Chains A and B, each alone.
Chain A
Amino acid sequence: KAGVTQTPRYLIKTRGQQVTLSCSPISGHRSVSWYQQTPGQGLQFLFEYFSETQRNKGNFPGRFSGRQFSNSRSEMNVSTLELGDSALYLCASSLAAGNEQFFGPGTRLTVL
């Protein structure tokens, strides 16, 4: 069974640009969660989607958004990038919220 895949693995952007990250969950998993990981703040919850609906949201500004498609694949978008958005963005999938989460390898975003 293929694991969670994330694309791209690495990304370099400049301030003010926008970026879209993609996540393909494990087949059969309908819940997809996104996290931001930085050395200073650790792993912070961004949002969780289940069956194309955002069920939960963390404390991030509106520049961070996401969506989920009918095949459970998910994307997250960050607009008007800031230097502080440089981080590892992790996606995790599970059968349902509260179940074991399986993480992808992450997308390393660097904002210059």
Chain B
Amino acid sequence: TQLLEQSPQFLSIQEGENLTVYCNSSSVFSSLQWYRQEPGEGPVLLVTVVTGGEVKKLKRLTFQFGDARKDSSLHITAAQPGDTGLYLCAGIHGSGNTGKLIFGQGTTLQVKP
């Protein structure tokens, strides 16, 4: 059973479309992180959300942390082919410095020109 469930798992859209990726859990997380991974590379951190209800924007990307800190979403406006990649949400499970970073299964996004 995945602690963090991401949906959808695959998404193929046309350039210019909007999309939303969801990351859900039954557990409360002190923070959630979103990463993007391109083929042949390791994941790169996009953002960390910490406060329930928090919204962060990174150019055309909008990240939201649920009020109860159990879920998060990533919305991309006017997707570009350069947005293609694997999007991963992750949260620290456990307390303090001994928590381990748990990842969702990931959402593979393909943006066609």
Which A residues form the contact surface with B (CB < 8 A)?
4, 33, 35, 42-45, 48, 50, 55-56, 58, 90, 92, 96-98, 100-106
Contact = CB atoms under 8 A, between A and B. Distances in A.
Contacts of B100: 33, 45, 48, 56, 58
Given A4-B42, A42-B2, A98-B92, 4 more contacts: A45-B101, A103-B41, A104-B42, A105-B40
B105 A42 contact: yes
Contacts of B40: 105
A42 B43 CA distance: 12
Nearest to B45: A100
B94 interface: yes
Contacts of A101: 45, 101
B103 interface: yes
A41 to B, nearest CB: 8
Chain B's interface size range is 20 to 34
19 contacts: A4-B42, A42-B2, A42-B88, A43-B90, A43-B103, A43-B106, A44-B103, A45-B101, A50-B97, A55-B98, A56-B94, A56-B98, A92-B42, A97-B98, A97-B99, A98-B96, A100-B33, A101-B101, A105-B41
B68 to A, nearest CB: 20
A68 B89 CA distance: 27
Contacts of A102: 45
B45 to A, nearest CB: 5
A50 B97 CA distance: 10
A90 B48 contact: no
Contact of A56 (B41, B42, B48, B99): B99
Interface in B60-97: 88, 90, 92, 94, 96-97
